[in-house]
Amino acid sequence: MLNTQSFPPLVIRGRSLLPIVQGGMGVGISAHRLAGSVAREGALGTIASIDLRHHHRDLVELCRQSPDTTTLEQANLTALEREIRAARVISDGRGMIAVNVMKAVSAQADYVRVACESGADAIVMGAGLPLDLPDMTEGRDVALIPILSDSRGVSLVLKKWMKKGRLPDAVVVEHPAHAGGHLGVGNLADMHDRRFDFLRILEELETVFASLGLNRRDVPVIVAGGINSHEAVRELLNAGANGVQLGTPFAVTEEGDAHPNFKRVLAEATPDDIVEFISVTGLPARAVKTPWLMRYLRHEAKIREKVGALKHACPTALECLSVCGWRDGIEKFGHFCIDTRLAAALRGDVANGLFFRGREALPFGTAIRSVHDLLELLLTGATRPAVAGRWSFSLG
Ligand SMILES: Cc1cc2nc3c(=O)[nH]c(=O)nc-3n(C[C@H](O)[C@H](O)[C@H](O)COP(=O)(O)O)c2cc1C
């Protein structure tokens, strides 16, 4: 386990952690092995709750036999419970295990309930404003961490939650110009707006907190998106961030829960291979230009024209999103089945999968290294030689 002496610890709900957070990554990219391994090092590891059934052969088989919404939903909840318990075993009582729940997902309240019942230490919620998260978790001893993009969003959540008598246990501020996956900005042209700059937000938050009668130290601020070196970690922590969150660099670690092909696609992507587009959630997203995505983007305009206000049946019967561009025929949104595409990427199907990725180069370049090595590099700047032959995998 690494120690925190080089930087002050990130303290969440009284627990002292390394100031590096592993962000939640669906579908199945951050499951028990990654989150548990990060927690074992004394940091916050996050399981992405969405569609975890893909990691469990018995549940996949059950859903193949009865492909209806109730069976699919129950399989995902069973998988979440298993993943939290397995992560706990790996963590050996160290660090913290969080569960990431996307606000845009239909079964968000069930995911939150099962996460609490299965012993998650924290719920992290993004992809929409998590204004009702305190109501969903009333009476539970669990840390609540919203994900936002600018100081206005943080201010809004603070005000709403204070009326409910609750403060976030930390907030994640994610930069839409750098992060992987869905991006917290309405319009792609807006993503370089200065209101998303970490240093500006850290400064603005001093005023926001003071205006609400709070001390900035009451709520740790964790910044996320494109952080890829010890120098960046040092700069952000020295500027007042209490922690930094990384996604892509953890997805490609040895312990990452995805297929080796998934890691290779992310690790080997050059800046020209990365693209932003509109997802079926209506939010912009960032991913690698793999064959399916390129084909989809080439035909996107035509597909949109055709679907217009046409409604489709949900192709998986899962009805995963409360609002889905494909199922609901929303012209301005994306038109594909996100569950099918993300599950293909998890399995390492390079031709058909959707591979979310952040925009920046990775701390170890194209090399696949362990969670321990990554944390050590970020916290100390030290890199030790890779140990040959350590990269071995099993899916499910
Ligand atoms: C493959 C992938 C999947 C992701 N899925 C989710 C998700 O399900 N929920 C979420 O809140 N954020 C998700 N993210 C965002 C990460 O949690 C993290 O905040 C972000 O990737 C940080 O930027 P970085 O990749 O440049 O480090 C995802 C990111 C990646 C790369």
**What pLDDT is stored for residue 1 in this prediction?**
61
Q: Does residue 174 contact residue 224 with C-beta atoms inside 8 Å?
A: yes
Is residue 355 within 6 Å of ligand 1 at its C-beta?
no
**CA–CA separation, 154 and 171 (whole Å):** 8
Give first-to-last CA distance, the chain, whole Å.
Answer: 27
276-307 pLDDT, tens per residue? 999 998 999 999 999 999 999 999 888 877 76
pLDDT number for residue 395: 29
CA neighbor of 310 nearest in space, from 293, 328, 322: 328
Whether residue 107 is predicted with pLDDT greater than 50 in this model: the reply is yes
pLDDT digits (tens, 9 = 90+) for 322-336: 888 888 888 888 889
pLDDT in tens, 67-92: 999 999 999 999 999 999 999 999 99
* Residue 295: strand, helix, or coil: helix
Residue ranges of the chain assigned to CATH 3.20.20.70: 2-257+364-380
Beta strand segments in the chain, E: 10-12, 15-17, 20-22, 44-48, 96-102, 122-126, 143-148, 171-174, 181-182, 221-224, 243-246, 274-278, 284-288
- What the block records as the tokens of 29 is 């990219």
Tell me the per-residue pLDDT of 351-381, one tens digit each, with 9 for 90 and over: 999 999 999 999 999 999 999 999 999 999 9
| 23 Cβ closer than 6 Å to some ligand 1 atom | yes
Q: Of 225, 263, 226, 252, which is closest to residue 34 (Cα–Cα)?
A: 252
Q: Is the CB of 224 under 6 A from ligand 1?
A: yes
Residue 391's pLDDT band (cuts 50, 70, 90): very low
The span from the CA of 293 to the CA of 357, in Å, is: 13
The amino acid at 78: T
Atom of ligand 1 nearest to the CA of 50: 8
Give 24 Cα–ligand 1 centroid separation in angstroms: 6
Once rounded to an integer, what is the mean pLDDT over residues 89-97? Answer: 98
Ligand 1 centroid to residue 247 C-alpha, Å: 5
**The CATH number of domain 2-257+364-380, selected from 2.60.40.10, 3.20.20.70, 2.60.120.10, 3.30.450.20:** 3.20.20.70
178 lines ligand 1 (CB under 6 A): yes
What is the predicted pLDDT for the residue at 322?
Answer: 84
CA of 87 to the centre of ligand 1 (A): 19
**Cα 213 to the chain's mean position, in Å?**
31
Q: In testing the pocket of ligand 1, which one of 46, 227, 248 has its CB within 8 Å of the most ligand atoms?
A: 248
Predicted TM-score (pTM) of the model is 0.95
Confirm or reject: Cβ of 46 under 6 Å from ligand 1. no
CA of 248 to the centre of ligand 1 (A): 7
> What pLDDT, on the 0 to 100 scale, is given for residue 389?
44
For CA atoms 280, 281, 284, 287, give the dihedral sign: negative
Per-residue confidence (pLDDT) for residue 385, from 0 to 100: 74
Check residue 332 and give its pLDDT.
86
Tens digit of each residue's pLDDT (9 = 90 or more) over 180-216: 999 999 888 899 999 999 999 999 999 999 999 999 9
**162: Cβ contacts below 8 Å, ≥ 6 apart:** 212
Distance 309 CA to ligand 1 centre (A): 30
Shortest-distance atom of ligand 1 to CA 249: 27
- 105 by DSSP, 3-state: which? strand
Q: Exposed, middle or buried: residue 76 (CB in 10 Å: 0-12, 13-18, 19+)?
A: buried
